[in-house]
Structure 1
Amino acid sequence: MPSLPLRIAILECGTTPPNAARKYGSYGGVFASLLRSGADALSYPNLSSSSGLSISTFDVVKNLSYPSIPDIDAILLTASAPNAFDNDPWILKLVAFVKEILEQRRVRIVAACFGHQIVGRALGAKVGRSYKGWEIGVTPIDLTKRGQEIFGQSTLALHQIHGDVVYDYPPGVEELAYTDACPVQSMYIPKRVMTVQGHPEFTEEIMRELLDRAYATGFFDKRLFEESMAKVDKYQDGVVVAQAFLRFLLEE
């Protein structure tokens, strides 16, 4: 088990919309808030929102900045608007860095949405457009038996906003969760990797802002916008996922 403080480097793969940015700062601030809420809910010795976590952020898009591997215990990959299967230089550099982490055994990986897809790509899975279209809003997620053990409950519900998916589980990766629209919802390798396709870090407020912007710019049509908005106020398990991430990172 890593000694406390748990040193988590958040790799910022995207940006937050303006209102969320004013509240949380960069995307790392959104995830830092989630992790601190998870720490308070976990009841782990000497770990709370105010102690036991050392969170740093790195802009991997514009600054191409990365942590020194000996200085961290884990990396967290955020979501992003671009496609994880694109070959922009910053995306290729990110995939290469994840592969470097995967080649060693100490530093662990957690990720969400775009980050989940980047990890899938680094593990050799195909990533691309979903054949079933968008998955948006708070979505019920089925858990496998292993997933129920990891998350500590029978099902999950998370904010979703994605049209891309990891098509198949890479060799050696355990399946934790699935939906009809996205069979690869959560990947797990003990003591190495844990990812989710959903957005545990999002709040109703953030989702409303994202959907408003998507509709205003014509990215979503009226039907998709209204259907998505109807689901943003549903209960979601973001803190449950944060607790599971932290348990995974602290496991001996």
Structure 2
Amino acid sequence: MKIGILQTGHTPDVLQDEFGDYDELFPTLLGGNGFEFVTFAVVDGTFPKDVDDADGWVITGSRHGVYEDLPWIAPLEMLVRDIQQSGKPLIGVCFGHQIIAQALGGKVEKFSGGWAVGRTEYDYDGNNIWLNAWHQDQVVELPEDARVLGQNAFCENAMLAYRDTIWTVQAHPEFTNGFVAGLMRTRGKGVVPEDLMRAAANRETAPDDNAKIARHMADFLKKERA
């Protein structure tokens, strides 16, 4: 099964040797499932010719906001709608979660409550899970077809599903604790409040549920659909 990764951002240059770019985090997360991966760096203007360039799709995280006036945002929204119409599976992570919501009629904004950083607990379909978060923007109004699967007190629309073909998550199951620590060193200072980063650093060695969510993501992509 070929999975198209729609890359919407780049990791900081100083972290790429150790962790790779954003698109490289997903083959690591989803490895062992027989997937073939192909990247389209939409952030740099490289788009697939059509939705049939892959059997399933993943939209990555980004330092950009989905509401920014960038030349690749509108074409990406159109592609999201085309993928939805095709019935192919689509997964969105952080920025991907937000751009899918915006493309399908929802609203995203810079959340007045501030940032979520590091290991964070969510209620996911009645179970408590822990994932690494790195965001201030949030989906604040849902598209018509969206249903909430996961949330917490800070982020009420943390995991969404759209019918049987789209699944999205605000947090980052592809981020290890070490990667989050690197983001705090390179992008956090002067942007994320110091008390939040200190608290996140204190949780760095605690376990997460990345593997559990990776299993769900892989099963979602491979699921038989009519």
Q: Fold-level match, TM-score > 0.5? A: yes
CA positional deviation for 1:18: 3.3
Match of 1:228 among 172, 197, 200: 200
Within the alignment, does 1:251 sit opposite 2:223 as a pair?
yes
Match of 2:24 in 1: 29
Report what 2:120 is aligned to: 139
The answer to whether residue 35 in structure 2 is matched with residue 53 in structure 1 is yes
- 1:211 counterpart SS class: helix
Question: 1:189 aligned to 2:162?
Answer: yes
Residue 172 of structure 1 corresponds to which residue in structure 2?
145
**Gaps spanning 5+ residues in structure 1: where?**
1-5, 40-47, 149-153
Once the two structures are superposed, what CA deviation does each residue of 1:21-56 show, in whole Å capped at 9, x if it has no partner? 1134321111110011xx4xxxxxxxx4xxx21111
CA RMSD of aligned residues (A): 1.7
Q: Are 2:61 and 2:95, in contact at CA under 8 Å, matched by a contact in 1?
A: yes
Q: Sequence identity of aligned pairs in percent? A: 29
TM-score by length of 2: 0.92
Q: Relative to structure 1, is the Cα distance of residues 186 and 221 closer, same or farther in structure 2, using a 3 angstrom cutoff?
A: closer
Structure-to-structure mapping, 1:91-240, within 5 angstroms = 91-105=73-87, 107-143=88-124, 147-148=125-126, 154-216=127-189, 218-240=190-212
Aligned counterpart in structure 2 of residue 13 of structure 1, from 8, 20, 26: 8
Residue-by-residue CA offset, 1:106-131 (whole Å, 9 max, x unaligned): x1110110110001101100100112
CA shift for structure 1 position 8: 0.4
Q: Take 2:7 and 2:200, find their aligned partners in 1: how far apart are those partners? A: 25
Cα distance in 1 for residues equivalent to 2:196 and 2:153: 18
The number of residues matched between the two structures is 224
* Moved beyond 4 Å, runs of 4+: none
Alpha-carbon spacing, 1:221–1:172, altered in 2? closer, same or farther (3 Å): closer
In the alignment, the residues of structure 1 paired with residue 19 and residue 184 of structure 2 have an alpha-carbon distance, to the nearest angstrom, of: 18
C-alpha displacement of 1:227: 2.2
TM-score by length of 1: 0.83
Flag the 1:215–1:187 CA change in 2: closer, same or farther, 3 A.
closer
Q: Distance in 1 between matches of 2:150 and 2:168?
A: 10
Shift of 1:72: 1.2
Question: What is the alpha-carbon distance in structure 1 between the residues aligned to residue 37 and residue 79 of structure 2?
Answer: 19
Question: Quick one: distance in 1 between partners of 2:185 and 2:208?
Answer: 20
8 Å contact kept, 1:169–1:187: no
Secondary structure of the residue aligned to 2:86 is: coil
CA contact (8 A) 2:7 2:43 kept: yes
